[in-house]
A and B are shown apart, each in its own frame.
Chain A
Amino acid sequence: MELKLPIYLDNNATTPCDPRVVDAMLPYFTEKFGNAASRNHSFGWTAEEAVDYAREQVAKLIGADPKEIIFTSGATEADNLAIKGVFEMYASRGNHIITCTTEHKAVLDTCKHIEKLGGQVTYLPVASDGLIDLNELEKAITDKTILIAIMYGNNEIGVIQPIREISKIARKHGVLFFTDGTQAVGKVPVDVNADGIDLMAFSAHKMYGPKGVGALYVRRKSPRVKVTAQMDGGGHERGMRSGTMNVPGIVGFGKACEICMNEMEAEGQRLSKMRDRLEAGLMQLEEAYVNGNREHRLPHVANISFKYVEGEGLMMGFNKNIALSSGSACTSASLEPSYVLKALGLGDDLAHSSLRFGLGRFTTDEQIDYTIKAISETVLKLREMSPLWEMFKEGIDLNSIEWAHH
């Protein structure tokens, strides 16, 4: 196959729409443009039918009942609705939420907001492989705990948390379990019943669907979970999320879920094989380290630190042709290195030196080969001009040097 440039390896940030998804969506912009809430004419019925069908497609992917799917504008909104909605709805039972330090900002910042409202939040640390400690989780539960919010698969390092063990602990203590499934749903088998999930946020644009649409799964049976609406209005989505339905988006989301469901097994194997090859190729370099647990993780994600070179400087060597992300401070708005990598106990220097690879449906073997070559060459070139590499090679302990911090 011919090599196509530029290469997109940032599929954890977003994925392109699958052309099959776009085809499914198109009629709903033009001839089938009705409002799904218009109950009295055929335009409305057509839109409602399309939404109902998509709801079934989405529910099926995660083993849920269609009535348990609340459509939102994306995973961030679903995270907010789950956490704030549970906090309000179950206020009489308690005000304590348990989450962990490597969650997405949509969860962490929502928890910060809950604290401002008088709630208590425990932020569990993670081990150096990115996994939480189940004993610590159980110990953190108090009689005020109403919710455990732990993500399914991590967006930066791809680590998959022990979801079934977490849900068992939650059940045992009568605490609800919410998981941010944004990176995992559509990539690995997720079954809300087998996994014991009570609420789950996920998004279309991470699985080859359109941006601007996502869902919150809310369990209806054993236990029946309710959330207080955070968006008031026409009472859409059984009162839990008002606002005119994004019909084309939802149709695309449904189609994206259907495709993921049909292709997940083969695609997961293809991706993990390709990811392993990428890793093996890059680990040929000296002083390269894979971040996060290598066994319990998503098939398409790799996070590697190349010691003694800085991530943004590294990316500049190939970013005309390869798109990916770095945990370097220079690439973030906050100018702080990745908090996820720091939570693993990585020094700032290794966090600055990390690259995140997000492989996807349209990644090819040729692209992986090109990437290994381009990155290896750039790492070698930059190390030749890195004073830290020179010191390392001379056997100087970098920790023994008194650096001028600024």
Chain B
Amino acid sequence: MAYSEKLIDHYTHPKNVGTLDKSKNNVGTGLVGAPECGDVMRLQIEVDEATGVISDAKFKTFGCGSAIASSSLATEWLKGKTVDQALTIDNMDIVEELNLPPVKIHCSVLAEDAIKAAINDYRVKNGMPALELEEKKH
């Protein structure tokens, strides 16, 4: 399977690998996937409470190259967006940007799920109701 240069670059030089302090109120953590399925993504956002802008984003991913690249790209896109803007990130944007082959589309879905899970964690921590998330097919 030939992967795009962008995908390989994200795999080789992943952006924003790391861990944020999940005990902080302005940090939202999303953990999605399962070890048995071969991919687990943990995506975290840190929100500037004054502006509502995502000031930092980190990920750690267990998975194939496409899963690693999808989460790396997601963290890049998250930084500088408001939480509401972040909700508009669609998995198909990731598919397009990384030119994911059809069998790897589920990696982008997982990344979108991770973003939403992180946002929901942040919302609940800050007294907002969790958003109802539509189930995407993996």
- Residues B36 and A349 in contact, CB atoms below 8 Å apart: yes
| A390 and chain B: residue at smallest CB distance | B60
Add 13 more A-B contacts to A387-B60, A390-B19, A390-B60 (CB < 8 A).
A312-B38, A317-B11, A328-B38, A335-B103, A385-B14, A385-B68, A386-B62, A387-B61, A387-B62, A403-B40, A404-B32, A405-B34, A406-B33
Q: Is B41's CB under 8 angstroms from A310's CB? A: no
Are A313 and B37 neighbours in the complex by a CB distance under 8 Å? no
Give B1-58 interface residues, CB cut-off 8 Å to A. Answer: 3, 8, 11, 14, 17, 19, 31-42
Choose one: A317, A349, A382, A385; the contact of B35 (CB below 8 Å).
Answer: A349
Partner of B42, one of A308, A349, A352, A387: A387
A337 contacts partner chain B, Cβ-Cβ < 8 Å:
yes
CA of A404 to CA of B38 in the docked complex: distance in angstroms? 12
Chain A 285-326 interface mask (CB, 8 Å, partner B; 1/0): 000000000000000000000001110110011000000000
Structural contact, B68 and A313, CB atoms closer than 8 A: yes
Interface string of A323-355 (1 = CB under 8 A from B): 000001110000101000000000111001000
What chain A residues lie within 8 Å of B61 (beta carbons)? 385-387
In contact, A316 and B65 (Cβ under 8 angstroms): yes
Q: How many whole Å from B91's CB to the nearest CB in chain A?
A: 13
The residue that A310 contacts in the complex, of B8, B42, B62, B103, with Cβ under 8 A, is B62
Report if A398 contacts B (CB, 8 A).
yes
A-B contacts at CB below 8 angstroms, number: 86
CB of A26 closer than 8 Å to a CB of B: no
Q: Which residue of B8, B11, B31 is within 8 Å of A387 (Cβ)?
A: B31
Chain A residues positioned under 8 Å from B39 (CB to CB): 310
Nearest neighbor of B32 in chain A, beta-carbon distance: A404
Q: Do A386 and B38 touch across chains, with their CB atoms under 8 A apart?
A: no
Measured CA separation A312–B66 after assembly (Å): 10
Instruction: Name the CB-closest residue of B to A308.
Output: B62
Q: CB within 8 A of A388: which of B3, B40, B103?
A: B40
Chain B contact patch, size range: 20 to 34
Interface centre among B36, B39, B110, B138 (most CB of A within 10 A): B36
What residues of chain A lie closer than 8 Å to B80, measured between beta carbons? none
**In the complex, A384 has a CB within 8 A of chain B:** yes
Q: Give per-residue flags for A75-118: 1 if the beta carbon is below 8 A from chain B beta carbons, else 0.
A: 00000000000000000000000000000000000000000000
* Chain B neighbourhood of A386, CB < 8 A: 60-62
- What is the bound-complex CA distance between A328 and B61, given in angstroms? 16
Q: From residue A154, how far is it (CB to closest CB) to chain B in Å?
A: 22
Bound CA span A401–B40, Å: 12
**Interface assignment of B67: CB less than 8 Å from any CB of chain A:** yes
- Chain A residue with minimal CB distance to B61? A385
Provided the pairs A347-B36, A405-B34 are in contact, do residues A312 and B64 lie with their beta carbons within 8 angstroms?
yes
CB proximity of B109 to chain A, nearest CB, Å: 8
B17 touches which one: A330, A385, A406 (CB < 8 A)? A385
B116 → chain A closest CB, angstroms: 12
Given A310-B63, A386-B62, A405:B36 Cβ within 8 A: yes
The smallest beta-carbon distance between B60 and chain A, in angstroms, is 4
Quick one: given A385-B14, A385-B17, A387-B40, are A313 and B67 in contact (CB under 8 Å)?
yes
Q: Are B31 and A348 in contact (CB-based, < 8 A)?
A: no
How distant is the Cα of A348 from the Cα of B64 in the complex, in angstroms? 15
Interface string of B82-123 (1 = CB under 8 A from A): 000000000000000000000100100010000000000000
